Structure 1
């Protein structure tokens, strides 16, 4: 499985996944009005292989940008820019076309050394963050929560790539719940192809080498995370099913019904509902309210999704199904068997 490689990357801190230009373009086209007159920072970028700097440099005038900055972590290629850059962390600055050919020529791009290693948490990289208006990049998956926390701390607009499972963490989910972060417009299912370094081990299905000799990996559950608004986000989800208790079981330990698929949300029910995480692909904050998450961790308890049973009743259910714990929800199927659910987001329709 491709996700096996993703987990290995997390363990080894080997997070050099390079996004395809097609995926960048498909997402960025939804936000063009946000970029005029803005300084864009790509602070987890390697312009030798990353397409983020390329996208913004070639679309600089079209988007009406003010400045483009990219920080590069420890350049390994001595021939990348000039002699003596091997193992040198650098930053790039581009302020638009100067010679009228509408192409970001080498002489128009400043390439300057960094004092440190280019880590986004370093003092000098934080100074670039302060200068920027919008951050767009593919941050290290293993540091995703820390990365988002920094963006929120400095009150930055952003459009970044991450795994959708990150939303069930204590750093990320409250941002969704409070309408501070949401999923982007273009990716709602399937896997995505990322280029990886030449020394990356390819030992899982879905990985390979393309016709040019570049290695790639396919990763499931990838999403764009953003706090930039776009039109489709405010469109109502069309509901067509009617509520009946046979199709929507009530949880044994929480006052809500279970909805197994987002498309099955009943149009005539306004109580609490538990829905899959994939609901966030269709979430319209004017149509629904997010109340919490039932994922069995402390986050679920903190968000109010703890059992409404007393201790004796709760322990009795645990004896039936040992997977049940505080912060998870369960219901009885039509055969009376206790079903303990994986992550469920608790929502309610707005009237």
Structure 2
């Protein structure tokens, strides 16, 4: 079992943390509640992802028709290019496909797309996902992924925390809408705080209170905190959502204590000082 601070993970700069489905669903629901058509007719890009494992890909593929999406694009980063090395084994999904290539499976990233009813069952969903190998390793800074970024309307993902500054700059450079996750310390970054101050980005709709959030980790991952249903999970402190898409929580009035609540919960000295200030 791992130690509690995941120190080994940080040293290896392992960013293999898979966001849980219910956390994605809860966050996205807030944007839909505020604007039911927020995703309608839009092309979504899910970069820095692992489409075969990703709950982001699963969620938006299952909700494709309901959200009225135009196209879904999801890309992964090649195994050989990751700083964290693991005992990688390709999935049965990949190896059973005629286009499987034992050389490309570790050297190239993958791209999954969804835009049509491939199965012919009258609906577009996760069963209609199509995939192939990328020409490169899937680095978001590559021209190949930049082209996909430029095609997209909205970018949604859990990017590598260690590259958050670069990733956010990559999004802002193209003036794209986004919903992404990072550590709450990112608020203080010199590259991030001015964007918040100038109302160009803001916190997401979820509970951005720095609480610990559970993430699924790879099966061969040694630093984890619990195991349920044959899957390993680690909690990461202080992860929050960042976005530039409007949601209702931004417009809620801050709760203010009534006089009765001040009398009930405030100390005498505090109450007296407040009365003095109003006289």
Quick check: 1:217 aligned with 2:234? yes
Cα displacement string for residues 234-284 of structure 1 (whole angstroms, at most 9, x for unaligned residues): 111122378xxx86xxxxxxxxxxxxxxxxxx9xx9xxxxxxxxxxxxxxx
Match of 2:197 in 1: 177
Helix, strand or coil at the partner of 1:171: coil
Residues 100 and 80 (structure 1), Cα distance of their counterparts in 2 relative to 1, 3 Å cut: closer
Gaps of 5+ in 1: 248-265, 270-351
TM-score, length basis structure 1: 0.64
Helix, strand or coil at the partner of 1:43: strand
Match of 1:283 in 2: none
In 2, Cα distance between the equivalents of 1:180 and 1:3? Answer: 36
**Greater radius of gyration (CA):** 1
CA positional deviation for 1:198: 2.1
Match of 1:282 in 2: none
CA positional deviation for 1:74: 1.8
CA positional deviation for 1:89: 1.3
Match of 2:130 in 1: 110
Match of 2:183 in 1: 163
Residues 109 and 167 (structure 1), Cα distance of their counterparts in 2 relative to 1, 3 Å cut: same
In 2, Cα distance between the equivalents of 1:3 and 1:147? Answer: 28
Match of 1:237 in 2: 254
Match of 1:67 in 2: 71
Match of 2:5 in 1: 4
Helix, strand or coil at the partner of 1:31: helix
Quick check: 1:79 aligned with 2:109? no
Helix, strand or coil at the partner of 2:223: coil
Helix, strand or coil at the partner of 2:44: strand
In 1, Cα distance between the equivalents of 2:222 and 2:22? Answer: 24
**Counterparts of residues 140-159 of structure 1 (less than 5 Å):** 140-159=160-179
In 2, Cα distance between the equivalents of 1:54 and 1:201? Answer: 26
Higher relative contact order (CA 8 A, sep 6+): 2
**Counterparts of residues 21-100 of structure 1 (less than 5 Å):** 21-32=21-32, 33-74=37-78, 76=88, 77=90, 79-81=92-94, 82=97, 83-84=100-101, 86-87=105-106, 88-98=108-118, 99-100=120-121
8 Å Cα contact 2:227/2:233 also seen in 1: yes
Helix, strand or coil at the partner of 2:166: helix
In 1, Cα distance between the equivalents of 2:199 and 2:42? Answer: 23
TM-score, length basis structure 2: 0.79
How many residues align? The count is: 242
TM-align CA RMSD: 2.5
In 1, Cα distance between the equivalents of 2:9 and 2:123? Answer: 38
In 1, Cα distance between the equivalents of 2:24 and 2:249? Answer: 18
